[in-house]
Chains A and B, each alone.
Chain A
Amino acid sequence: MRFAKLIRRNLFRNKLRAILTMLLLAVIFFFVATLLAILDNFEEFSNSGAGSNRIVVQSAISLATLLPYSHEQKIRQLPGVVDTAKLQWIGAYYKEKSNFFANFAIDGEKMASVWDDYKIDPKQRADFLADRRGALVAEALMKRFGWKVGDRITLKRQIFAFDPELTIRGTFVHPVDTGSLFFPMEYFEHATGDRSEVGTFWVKVKDPKQMAALSQQIDAMFKNSDYPTETFTEKEFQQNFMSMMGNVKLLFTAVSSCAIFMVVLLAAITMSMSARERVTEIAVLKAIGFEQRLVLGLMLTEFLLLTMIGGALGCFGAHYLYAFVDMGKVTQGFLQNFGIHTKTLVVCMIASAGVGLIAGGLPALRASNLRVVDGLRRVV
Chain B
Amino acid sequence: MIPLKYNIGNLTARRVSTLMTILGIGVVIAVMISMMALQNGVHSAVVSSGSKDNLMVMREGAAAELSSWVTKDAFRIIRALPGIAKESSGAPMISPELVIIFKIPKRDDPKGSNVLMRGVTPMAFTMRPYVKLIEGRMFKPGLNEVIVARRIRDRFVNTAIGDSFQFGSQKYNVVGVFDAQATAFDSEMWCDSDFLGQARKRDAYSSLIVRPIDRGAFESLKAAIKGDNRLKLDVKSEYQYYADQTNGLAGIVILVAIVTFFMTIGAILGTMNTMFSAIASRGRELATMRALGFKRRTILLSVIVESAFVSLLGGLAGLLLALPVNMISTGTTNFETFSEVAFNFRVDAQVAITGIVIALIAGIIGGALPAISAARMPITKALREI
Instruction: In the A-B complex, list the 10 residue pairs whose CB atoms are closest, starting with the nearest.
Output: A265-B24, A244-B333, A246-B332, A31-B262, A159-B67, A24-B269, A62-B101, A158-B63, A157-B61, A262-B27
Is A16 touching B111 in the complex (CB atoms < 8 A)?
no
A-B contact pairs, 15 of them (CB 8 A): A24-B273, A27-B262, A62-B103, A65-B100, A161-B69, A226-B169, A226-B201, A246-B333, A255-B31, A255-B259, A258-B31, A259-B266, A273-B281, A334-B250, A380-B386
Minimal Cβ-Cβ distance residue in B for A273: B277
Q: B280 in the interface, Cβ–Cβ < 8 Å?
A: yes
What is the bound-complex CA distance between A65 and B266, given in angstroms?
47
Q: Which of A151-201 contact B (CB under 8 A)?
A: 156-161, 163
Minimal Cβ-Cβ distance residue in A for B60: A161
Q: Which of B1-56 contact A (CB under 8 A)?
A: 16-17, 20-21, 23-25, 27-28, 30-31, 35, 38
What is the bound-complex CA distance between A53 and B111, given in angstroms?
21
What is the bound-complex CA distance between A247 and B332, given in angstroms?
8
What is the bound-complex CA distance between A65 and B254, given in angstroms?
30
What is the bound-complex CA distance between A76 and B269, given in angstroms?
63
Minimal Cβ-Cβ distance residue in B for A226: B168
Is B277 touching A245 in the complex (CB atoms < 8 A)?
no
What is the bound-complex CA distance between A163 and B280, given in angstroms?
67
Q: B220 in the interface, Cβ–Cβ < 8 Å?
A: no
What is the bound-complex CA distance between A270 and B67, given in angstroms?
58
Size of B's binding interface in residues, CB under 8 A: 60
What is the bound-complex CA distance between A240 and B110, given in angstroms?
11
Answer whether A63 and B114 are a contact pair too, CB < 8 Å, given A224-B169, A226-B169, A269-B20. Answer: yes
Q: Chain B contacts of A16 at CB under 8 A?
A: 276
Q: Chain B contacts of A24 at CB under 8 A?
A: 266, 269-270, 273
Is A227 touching B28 in the complex (CB atoms < 8 A)?
no
Q: Which of B102-133 contact A (CB under 8 A)?
A: 102-103, 109, 111, 113-114
Is B269 touching A34 in the complex (CB atoms < 8 A)?
no
- Chain A 42-66, CB-CB to B under 8 Å as 1, else 0, gives 0000000000000000001111110
List A residues at the B interface (Cβ < 8 Å): 14, 16-17, 20-21, 23-24, 27-28, 30-31, 34, 60-65, 91, 97-98, 156-161, 163, 224-228, 230, 240, 243-247, 251, 255, 258-259, 261-263, 265-266, 268-270, 272-273, 331, 334, 379-380
Q: Chain A contacts of B277 at CB under 8 A?
A: 17, 269-270, 273
Is B266 touching A262 in the complex (CB atoms < 8 A)?
yes
How many Å from the CB of B304 to the closest CB on chain A? 17
How many Å from the CB of A31 to the closest CB on chain B? 4
Is A245 touching B333 in the complex (CB atoms < 8 A)?
yes
Q: Chain B contacts of A262 at CB under 8 A?
A: 24-25, 27-28, 266, 270
Is B330 touching A247 in the complex (CB atoms < 8 A)?
yes
Is B273 touching A259 in the complex (CB atoms < 8 A)?
no
Q: Chain A contacts of B38 at CB under 8 A?
A: 251
Q: B265 in the interface, Cβ–Cβ < 8 Å?
A: yes
Is B168 touching A23 in the complex (CB atoms < 8 A)?
no
Is A23 touching B67 in the complex (CB atoms < 8 A)?
no
Is B24 touching A266 in the complex (CB atoms < 8 A)?
yes
Partner of B168, one of A34, A160, A227, A230: A227
Answer whether A30 and B262 are a contact pair too, CB < 8 Å, given A14-B280, A62-B114, A334-B254. Answer: yes
Q: Chain A contacts of B269 at CB under 8 A?
A: 20, 23-24, 27
Is B63 touching A259 in the complex (CB atoms < 8 A)?
no
Is B61 touching A266 in the complex (CB atoms < 8 A)?
no
Q: Chain A contacts of B280 at CB under 8 A?
A: 14, 17, 273
Is B270 touching A240 in the complex (CB atoms < 8 A)?
no
Partner of A158, one of B67, B251, B332: B67
Q: B288 in the interface, Cβ–Cβ < 8 Å?
A: no
Is B270 touching A61 in the complex (CB atoms < 8 A)?
no
Q: Which of B254-272 contact A (CB under 8 A)?
A: 254, 258-259, 262-263, 265-266, 269-270, 272
Minimal Cβ-Cβ distance residue in A for B251: A334
What is the bound-complex CA distance between A28 and B60, given in angstroms?
47
Is A64 touching B332 in the complex (CB atoms < 8 A)?
no
Is B273 touching A60 in the complex (CB atoms < 8 A)?
no
Q: Chain B contacts of A65 at CB under 8 A?
A: 100-101
Is B20 touching A268 in the complex (CB atoms < 8 A)?
yes
What is the bound-complex CA distance between A243 and B340, given in angstroms?
11
Is A269 touching B274 in the complex (CB atoms < 8 A)?
yes
What is the bound-complex CA distance between A243 and B332, given in angstroms?
9
Q: B331 in the interface, Cβ–Cβ < 8 Å?
A: yes
Minimal Cβ-Cβ distance residue in B for A230: B103
Q: B59 in the interface, Cβ–Cβ < 8 Å?
A: yes
How many Å from the CB of A101 to the closest CB on chain B? 13
How many Å from the CB of A371 to the closest CB on chain B? 21
Q: B372 in the interface, Cβ–Cβ < 8 Å?
A: no
What is the bound-complex CA distance between A258 and B258, given in angstroms?
15
What is the bound-complex CA distance between A245 and B331, given in angstroms?
8
Is B23 touching A269 in the complex (CB atoms < 8 A)?
no
Q: Which of B205-219 contact A (CB under 8 A)?
A: none
Q: Chain A contacts of B289 at CB under 8 A?
A: none
Is A245 touching B61 in the complex (CB atoms < 8 A)?
no
What is the bound-complex CA distance between A14 and B333, given in angstroms?
50
Q: Chain A contacts of B198 at CB under 8 A?
A: none
Is B273 touching A20 in the complex (CB atoms < 8 A)?
yes
Q: Chain A contacts of B380 at CB under 8 A?
A: none
Q: Which of A23, A65, A261, A272 has the most CB of B within 10 A?
A: A65
- Chain B 152-179, CB-CB to A under 8 Å as 1, else 0, gives 0000000000000001110000000000
What is the bound-complex CA distance between A379 and B385, given in angstroms?
12
Answer whether A228 and B167 are a contact pair too, CB < 8 Å, given A157-B61, A266-B270, A266-B273. Answer: yes
Q: B62 in the interface, Cβ–Cβ < 8 Å?
A: yes
Q: Chain B contacts of A245 at CB under 8 A?
A: 251, 332-333
Is A266 touching B274 in the complex (CB atoms < 8 A)?
yes
Answer whether A62 and B273 are a contact pair too, CB < 8 Å, given A226-B168, A245-B251, A246-B332. Answer: no
Q: Chain A contacts of B168 at CB under 8 A?
A: 61, 225-228
Is B113 touching A244 in the complex (CB atoms < 8 A)?
yes
